[in-house]
């Protein structure tokens, strides 16, 4: 049994809630090793990099938020934090630098606007990701946000779901622009039309989802989700996710932590056995996969100004460099959402923000706001596609600093190359791949490398499909960080596909 399974068998993760008042009184030094891990069940993270200063991950299903919520988060960042917050690739927010005795008051303020941090770490179902333009996007097959909420409500706060073998990532999306990287998720529900072909049967055709399972990026590297040849109608989509989660809970491997993701169970069982078990638990035969409505390649980030499906309304996607935003900027974003939109806000898997529901007549006013020179709707391609994990400042797994280096590298590339056109550059500080570097045009993974007898900050560079046919398509290994901009400039400067 691995250490985390031992901790869970001694005391379930959520039970640490009862110890919190004592720890608030006695201070962080009194927290046991087991409870430091269990606190992650509450979304409270002890950081070895900053002992005594904690991080909290706030769950925002489908990235759907509003000015009231983000105002509270910004105020918390000012009152208890470090003056900034990070937007993550799971469309949620991370607060940093608060003390253990401040957790209760932070929760109270979050709960007052309908937010919780529960189960955002460790062996739990992480924030469920969906298209940030759900219900609004001109190119969505169906609005899946209700199914995200239905599934979310099944497990948040429910101890039945808090002892999974490992973390569990889910996306449910009706967007036909592949904006949530479905192939990387443990469960991926992506838009489809059933039946795929042939004569419609009673009650069909239906718009819904094809189901794939076992995608991952860490734990040994990228493995794309395996299609189950199952179509899930919207009415059963949340229950399908629920039953797959329970299959993982009951049958997932629990030995070595790096072999516990759902992918390993799918590899062991194969798609057919997995589907049979799913049908047994659902109590019905599920229809075969429908017509896949996602593009074969490419994806969209929903940045910039786009016309919504609702006539006369627009969504303004604002680029937040590497996902880090000051609390002052966040308060201003909330004001702009109230002034120019209807107060709604969306967080994207690209760590950016969207102000939706801006009428045509207010668009020019929004574009003229000073904040939009910092969080640009018309950012150059290399900045628009920039994603970065936390890095060494706050993550003890990290091999290098990431966020600042990512922004500086992108700025240098822009200066030398001009606008590259759409280009994604994702940074992860280690092989855990929180920066989703396996699904980027340029994927950067930090490492320490020995070069000329000296151990230095370095990266491996992975090049995506845009670079097919180039000699450098193989990963470039051990690239010293201080020459990375020059190396990337050489590659991009010779790549017409990447330079529009």
Catalytic residue set: 57, 166-167, 429, 434-435
- Pick between residue 274 and residue 427 the one whose CB is nearest to ligand SF4: 427
Nearest to 352, CA basis, from 374, 321, 380: 321
Q: What is the DSSP letter of 225?
A: P
The distance of closest approach from Cβ of residue 429 to ligand SF4 in the complex, given in angstroms and rounded to an integer, is 3
Q: Which of 28, 204, 269, 397 binds ligand SF4 (CB under 6 A)?
A: 397
Using only C-alpha atoms, the chain has a radius of gyration, in whole angstroms, of 22
Does residue 99 have a cis peptide bond before it, meaning omega lies within 30 degrees of 0?
A: no
Q: Which of 122, 331, 395, 498 binds ligand SF4 (CB under 6 A)?
A: 395
Stretch of 148-156, 158-166, 329-337, 391-399 contacting ligand SF4, by CB under 6 A: 391-399
- Pick between residue 259 and residue 335 the one whose CB is nearest to ligand SF4: 259
- Pick between residue 230 and residue 433 the one whose CB is nearest to ligand SF4: 433
Stretch of 112-120, 202-210, 294-302, 386-394 contacting ligand SF4, by CB under 6 A: 386-394
Stretch of 152-160, 196-204, 342-350, 383-391 contacting ligand SF4, by CB under 6 A: 383-391
| 432 contacts ligand SF4 (rule: CB under 6 A) | yes
- Contact indicator for 92, 353 with CB cutoff of 8 Å: no
- Contact indicator for 462, 443 with CB cutoff of 8 Å: yes
Q: Which of 62, 69, 428, 436 binds ligand SF4 (CB under 6 A)?
A: 428
Interface with ligand SF4: number of residues (CB under 6 A): 13
Q: Quickly list H helices, 169-270.
A: 234-251, 262-269
Residue whose tokens read 């253990």: 100
Q: Which of 398, 405, 458, 479 binds ligand SF4 (CB under 6 A)?
A: 398
Whole-angstrom CA distances from 259 to 17, 42, 450 are 29, 24, 29
The distance of closest approach from Cβ of residue 208 to ligand SF4 in the complex, given in angstroms and rounded to an integer, is 33
Stretch of 109-117, 250-258, 389-397, 484-492 contacting ligand SF4, by CB under 6 A: 389-397
Residues of span 61-80 touching ligand SF4 by CB under 6 A: none
- Pick between residue 261 and residue 302 the one whose CB is nearest to ligand SF4: 261
Does residue 435 have a cis peptide bond before it, meaning omega lies within 30 degrees of 0?
A: no
Lay out the site mask for ligand SF4 across 450-479 (x = CB under 6 A, - = otherwise).
Answer: ------------------------------
- Pick between residue 176 and residue 392 the one whose CB is nearest to ligand SF4: 392
* Region for 83 from its dihedrals, namely left if φ exceeds 0, alpha if ψ lies in -120 to 50, beta otherwise: left
- Pick between residue 257 and residue 335 the one whose CB is nearest to ligand SF4: 257
| 434 contacts ligand SF4 (rule: CB under 6 A) | yes
The distance of closest approach from Cβ of residue 276 to ligand SF4 in the complex, given in angstroms and rounded to an integer, is 35
What's the distance, Cα to Cα, between the start and end of the chain in Å?
52
Q: What are phi and psi of 71, to 5 degrees?
A: -65, -45
The distance of closest approach from Cβ of residue 470 to ligand SF4 in the complex, given in angstroms and rounded to an integer, is 26
CB-neighbour burial class of residue 198 (10 A; exposed 0-12, middle 13-18, buried 19+): exposed
Whole-angstrom CA distances from 288 to 190, 208, 266, 270, 275 are 14, 12, 18, 16, 10
Nearest to 103, CA basis, from 162, 31, 156: 31
Residues of span 42-61 touching ligand SF4 by CB under 6 A: none
The distance of closest approach from Cβ of residue 221 to ligand SF4 in the complex, given in angstroms and rounded to an integer, is 13
The distance of closest approach from Cβ of residue 431 to ligand SF4 in the complex, given in angstroms and rounded to an integer, is 7
The H or E element containing residue 57 is strand 54-58
The distance of closest approach from Cβ of residue 55 to ligand SF4 in the complex, given in angstroms and rounded to an integer, is 11
- Pick between residue 106 and residue 434 the one whose CB is nearest to ligand SF4: 434
Q: Which of 16, 430, 440, 498 binds ligand SF4 (CB under 6 A)?
A: 430
Pairing of strands 187-194, 84-87: unpaired
The distance of closest approach from Cβ of residue 104 to ligand SF4 in the complex, given in angstroms and rounded to an integer, is 27
Q: Which of 390, 424, 438, 495 binds ligand SF4 (CB under 6 A)?
A: 390
The distance of closest approach from Cβ of residue 45 to ligand SF4 in the complex, given in angstroms and rounded to an integer, is 11
Burial 223-262 (b: 16+ CB within 10 A, else e): bbbbbbebbbbbebbbbbbbbbbbbbbeebbbeebebbbb
- Contact indicator for 12, 34 with CB cutoff of 8 Å: no
Nearest to 45, CA basis, from 124, 127, 115, 117: 117
- Pick between residue 124 and residue 242 the one whose CB is nearest to ligand SF4: 124
Query: Hey, is 163 helix, strand or coil?
Result: coil
Strand runs labelled E in 82-204 = 84-87, 93-98, 170-172, 187-194
- Pick between residue 232 and residue 442 the one whose CB is nearest to ligand SF4: 442
Lay out the site mask for ligand SF4 across 222-261 (x = CB under 6 A, - = otherwise).
Answer: ----------------------------------------
Q: What are phi and psi of 315, to 5 degrees?
A: -110, 130
Residues engaged in binding ligand SF4 (CB under 6 A):
389-391, 395, 397-398, 428-430, 432-435
């Amino acid at each position: 049994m691995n250490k985390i399974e031992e901790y869970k068998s001694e005391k379930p993760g959520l039970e640490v809630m009862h110890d919190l008042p004592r720890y608030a009184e006695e201070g962080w030094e009194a927290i046991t090793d087991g409870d430091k891990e269990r606190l992650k069940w509450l979304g409270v993270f002890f950081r070895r990099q900053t002992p005594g200063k904690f991080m909290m991950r706030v769950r925002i299903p489908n990235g759907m938020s509003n000015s009231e919520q983000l105002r509270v988060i910004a105020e918390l960042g000012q009152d208890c934090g470090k003056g900034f917050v990070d937007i993550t690739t799971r469309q949620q927010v991370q607060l940093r630098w608060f003390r253990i005795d401040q957790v209760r008051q932070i929760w109270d303020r979050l709960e007052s606007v309908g937010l919780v941090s529960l189960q955002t770490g460790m062996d739990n179902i992480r924030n469920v990701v969906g298209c940030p333009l759900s219900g609004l996007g001109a190119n969505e097959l169906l609005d899946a946000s209700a199914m995200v909420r239905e599934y979310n409500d099944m497990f948040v706060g429910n101890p039945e779901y808090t002892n999974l073998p490992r973390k569990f990532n889910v996306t449910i999306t009706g967007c036909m622009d592949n904006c949530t990287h479905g192939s990387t998720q443990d469960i991926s529900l992506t838009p489809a039309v059933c039946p795929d072909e042939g004569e419609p049967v009673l009650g069909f055709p239906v718009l819904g989802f094809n189901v794939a399972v076992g995608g991952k990026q860490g734990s040994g590297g990228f493995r794309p989700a395996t299609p189950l040849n199952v179509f899930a109608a919207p009415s059963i989509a949340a229950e399908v996710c629920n039953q797959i989660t329970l299959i993982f809970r009951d049958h997932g491997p629990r030995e070595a932590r790096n072999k516990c993701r759902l992918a390993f169970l799918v590899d062991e069982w194969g798609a057919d056995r997995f589907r049979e078990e799913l049908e047994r638990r659902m109590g019905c035969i599920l229809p075969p996969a429908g017509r896949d409505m996602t593009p074969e390649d490419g994806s969209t980030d929903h940045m910039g100004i786009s016309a919504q499906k609702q006539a006369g309304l627009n969504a303004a996607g604002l680029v937040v460099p590497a996902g880090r935003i000051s609390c002052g900027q966040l308060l201003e974003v909330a004001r702009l959402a109230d002034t120019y939109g209807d107060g709604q806000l969306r967080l994207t898997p690209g760590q950016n923000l969207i102000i939706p529901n801006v009428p045509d007549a207010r668009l020019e006013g929004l574009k003229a706001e000073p904040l939009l020179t910092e969080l640009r709707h018309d950012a150059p391609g290399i900045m628009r596609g920039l994603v970065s994990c936390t890095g060494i400042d706050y993550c003890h797994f990290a091999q290098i600093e990431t966020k600042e280096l990512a922004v500086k590298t992108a700025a240098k590339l822009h200066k030398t190359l001009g606008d590259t056109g759409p280009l994604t550059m994702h940074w992860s500080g280690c092989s855990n791949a929180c920066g989703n570097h396996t699904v980027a045009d340029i994927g950067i993974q930090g490492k320490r490398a020995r070069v000329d007898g000296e151990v230095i900050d370095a990266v491996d560079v992975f090049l995506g499909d845009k670079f097919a046919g180039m000699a450098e398509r193989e990963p470039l290994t051990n690239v010293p960080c201080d020459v990375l901009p020059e190396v990337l400039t050489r590659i991009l400067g010779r790549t017409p596909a990447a330079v529009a």
